[in-house]
Amino acid sequence: MSAVAGELFLIATPIGNLADITLRALETLRTVDLVAAEDTRTAKKLFSRYQITAPLISLHDNSSPKRLDDLLEKLLAGATIGVISEAGTPGISDPGYRLIQMAAKAAIRITPIPGACAAISALCASALPLDSFYFAGFLPNRSGPRQRRLEELREISATLIFYESPRRLNSTLEDLEKVLGDRPACIARELTKVYEEFLRLPLSQLRVLGSERSWRGEITILVAGYDRESSARDPEALAAVENQIQTRLTDPDFIKDHSNRDLVDLLQAEFPHFKRRQIYDLVLEKR
C-alpha cells in the first residue's frame, strides 16, 4: 500500500448538451487513473467526443459492496479516481455519495470539479425565488408515501425542487396540488437540449396541461415555497378554521372546560399558518 493515499475527484458532466463541460473537468478525466461512472454508455459518448482514454468502470445503485470496497482500496493504495454521474454533478440523486462517504471516513482527499447541475439550471430560469431553495430529489413512486413526504415539505418557505420521470409526472402534479395547494410552479424539461422547455404556470394549470399531453425527457419540477400570509387568506383554509371553531363552540362539554384562550391554542397548533390574533378574532366573532 502506498504511503500516500490517492484522491477522489467528483467531476460534473453535461446534463444534455455535450459542449457544457469545463476545461478543468476534461483535464481531470484525462489524467485520473480510473473513472467510475453511473452509466458507462453515457460516459462512453462523452469520452468519444473528447478523446478521453481513462479506464472506465460502472458505479450505480445496484453495484455490489465489493465494488465500493475495491475502489476504496485503490484510493488507499494511491490511485486517483474520478466519479461521474449519468448527467450533472455526482452525489446529487445518484449512487456516488456512498463512495464519497467511505472516502471521507478513510481521510481520502475529495476534490469537486464543478459544472452542470439540472436543479440549479432549472431554478435560475424558473422565475421563482432564488434566495432560498430546498432540493428534495425524487419523490416516492406511490401516491400515498408521496403525499406523506409532501406534507413534511408543505410549510417550507423556500422554493422546492424535485426530479421526476415522465411517466409519473401527471400523478405527481396531482399530489403536489392536493397537498401544497395551487402554488406558482415551473416544469423544466430537456435542459440544454434541442427541445428544452420551461412551463411557468400554477400547479392547477400544469395538472390540466399534463392531462392533455404526454411527457418526454428529463424533468425538474419547481414549486414556490410556503407563504404564510397567502395561506391564511385562502378561502378553503379559512373555512376549515371556522368549521373547527363552530364544532367546538357547539360542544357543551368543550365550552364548559375550555376558555377562549384554550380554543385559540388548539386551533393555532392545528393551523400554524394563521396568526394567533386572526384566530382569536374569529373565535370572538363566532362566540
Q: Considering Cα of 99, then 104, then 109, then 111, what sign does the dihedral take?
A: positive
As given in the structure block, the three cell numbers for residue 41 are: 454508455
As given in the structure block, the three cell numbers for residue 118 are: 439540472
| Cα 111 from Cα 175, distance rounded (Å) | 39
Domain boundary residue, one of 208, 226, 244: 226
Chain-centroid distance, C-alpha 22: 24
> Are 108 and 134 members of one domain?
no
- Structure confidence by residue, pLDDT tens digits, 109-144: 999 999 999 999 999 999 999 999 999 999 999 999
pLDDT of residue 267: 86
As given in the structure block, the three cell numbers for residue 117 are: 447541475
CATH number at residue 38: 3.40.1010.10
> Are 127 and 85 members of one domain?
no
* Residue given cell 415551473 in the structure block: 186
Q: Are 193 and 217 in contact (CB under 8 A)?
A: yes
Chain-centroid distance, C-alpha 39: 21
Exposure on the CB side of residue 82, measured as CA atoms within 13 A: 27
Residue 1 lies in a domain: no
Helix axes 169-180, 203-211, angle to 10 degrees: 150
The count of domains in the chain is 3
- Structure confidence by residue, pLDDT tens digits, 216-249: 999 999 999 998 766 656 677 778 888 888 888 8
pTM for this entry: 0.79
Q: Which domain holds residue 278?
A: 230-286
> Are 150 and 63 members of one domain?
no
Enumerate residues 6+ apart whose C-beta is below 8 A from 151.
179
CATH number at residue 213: 3.30.950.10
- Structure confidence by residue, pLDDT tens digits, 75-95: 999 999 999 999 999 988 777
* Residue given cell 467526443 in the structure block: 49
As given in the structure block, the three cell numbers for residue 191 are: 435542459
